[in-house]
């Protein structure tokens, strides 16, 4: 069945003294892609529509019983979705800020930014054993091959008796990958989670001893319980040759272990982006 496409309501609060705050909230009736692009600039969505036109837009909206209002649905089909018809070993359905975005949505060296959003993994969610990314913070240019920060679901392997996990992954300027935090995935599945992320961009490429700071908390919306918290006051959060850093949200997964995956819908809502003196703290 062809999915119904709705849209977003963009709420924009700006003051002359600070960079301001932008929110992206589902409204259940406006065209989705048009308002994503109006909010973030350019063509800010990266869906697999080109390889699956019969389905229609892969980011839609629907009423959510738990929140009691419309939310965004990011659809991913095991077949035939791919990565924008250019890579067929992985699948991508994301929204992002990038070059055409306003400067208020870009992280420049020394900036402090905060992001807040809600997401919901459906019951029975099956992550890849290679990668299933839900959020990334990436350099926009220069040394932009690897994300600075990634929130990713990972299959532990039932045969090995290891649980599926949620990982916070950091990659530094030397391309060294570190699992900064890892917890069982089960508490994050089947209900809404609110994420709050605070980043001060910095790194050794701008002077000896300089570094960035990072904070992440994931909270169960229904109970208010903090399920994951990670704070690092000295983290490499910059890349050589880059001019700014930007966030991405959605579902981006490998197909190398396709046999253990399934069609998925990851729900998102209530995106907040702020920097300067503004803060997306809930």
Q: Which helix or strand (DSSP H or E) is residue 134 part of? A: strand 132-139
Q: Which residues pair with 275 in a beta bridge?
A: 113
DSSP SS3 for 84: coil
Q: What span, in angstroms and rounded, lies between the C-alpha atoms of 259 and 159?
A: 14
- CA gap 32, 92 in Å, rounded: 17
As a whole number of angstroms, the distance between CA 155 and CA 186 comes to 11
For the beta carbon of residue 159, count every other beta carbon within 10 angstroms.
6
Tell me how crowded residue 191 is: count the other CB atoms within 10 A of its CB.
Answer: 14
Helices assigned H by DSSP within the chain: 32-40
Which residues on adjacent β-strands are paired with residue 265? 75
pLDDT of residue 158: 62
Taking only the tens of pLDDT, the chain with its 282 residues reads 444 443 333 333 322 333 568 889 999 988 999 878 888 889 999 999 999 999 999 999 999 999 999 999 999 999 999 999 999 999 999 999 999 999 999 999 999 999 999 999 999 999 999 999 999 999 999 999 999 999 999 998 765 668 999 999 999 999 999 999 999 999 999 999 999 999 999 986 565 446 899 999 999 999 999 999 999 999 999 999 999 999 999 999 999 999 999 999 999 999 999 998 899 988
Q: Output the pTM of the full model.
A: 0.90
User: What whole-number distance in Å separates Cα of residue 164 and Cα of residue 154?
Assistant: 6
User: Cα(250)–Cα(21) distance, rounded to whole angstroms?
Assistant: 21
- Say which CATH architecture domain 8-275 belongs to: Sandwich (2.60)
Q: Cα separation of 218 and 234, whole Å?
A: 21
Percent of the chain clearing pLDDT 70 (strictly above): 89
CA contacts within 13 A on the Cβ side of 163:
11
- At residue 34, the pLDDT reads 85
């Amino acid at each position: 069945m062809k999915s119904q496409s709705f849209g977003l309501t963009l709420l924009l609060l700006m003051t002359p003294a600070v960079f301001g705050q932008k929110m992206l909230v589902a409204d259940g009736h406006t065209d989705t892609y048009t308002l994503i692009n109006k909010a973030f600039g350019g063509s800010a969505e990266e869906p697999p529509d080109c390889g699956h036109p019969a389905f229609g837009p892969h980011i839609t909206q629907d009423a959510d019983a738990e929140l009691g209002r419309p939310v965004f649905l990011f659809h991913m089909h095991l077949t035939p979705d791919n990565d924008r018809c250019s890579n067929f070993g992985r699948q991508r359905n994301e929204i992002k800020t990038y070059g055409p975005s306003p400067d208020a949505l870009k992280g420049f060296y020394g900036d402090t930014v905060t992001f807040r959003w809600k997401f919901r993994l459906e019951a029975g969610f099956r992550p890849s054993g290679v990668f299933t990314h839900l959020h990334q913070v990436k350099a926009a240019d220069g040394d932009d091959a690897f994300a600075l920060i990634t929130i990713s679901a990972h299959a532990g392997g039932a045969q090995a008796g290891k649980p599926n996990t949620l990982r916070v992954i950091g990659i530094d300027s030397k391309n060294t990958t570190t699992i900064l935090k890892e917890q069982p995935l089960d508490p994050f599945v089947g209900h809404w989670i609110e994420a709050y992320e605070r980043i001060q961009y910095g790194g050794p490429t701008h002077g000896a001893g300089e570094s960035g700071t990072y904070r992440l908390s994931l909270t169960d919306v229904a109970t208010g319980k903090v399920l994951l918290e990670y704070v690092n006051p000295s983290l490499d959060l910059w890349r050589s040759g880059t001019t700014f850093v930007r966030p991405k949200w959605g579902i981006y997964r490998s197909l190398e272990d396709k046999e253990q995956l399934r069609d998925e819908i990851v729900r998102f809502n209530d995106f907040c982006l702020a920097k300067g003196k503004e803060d997306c703290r809930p």
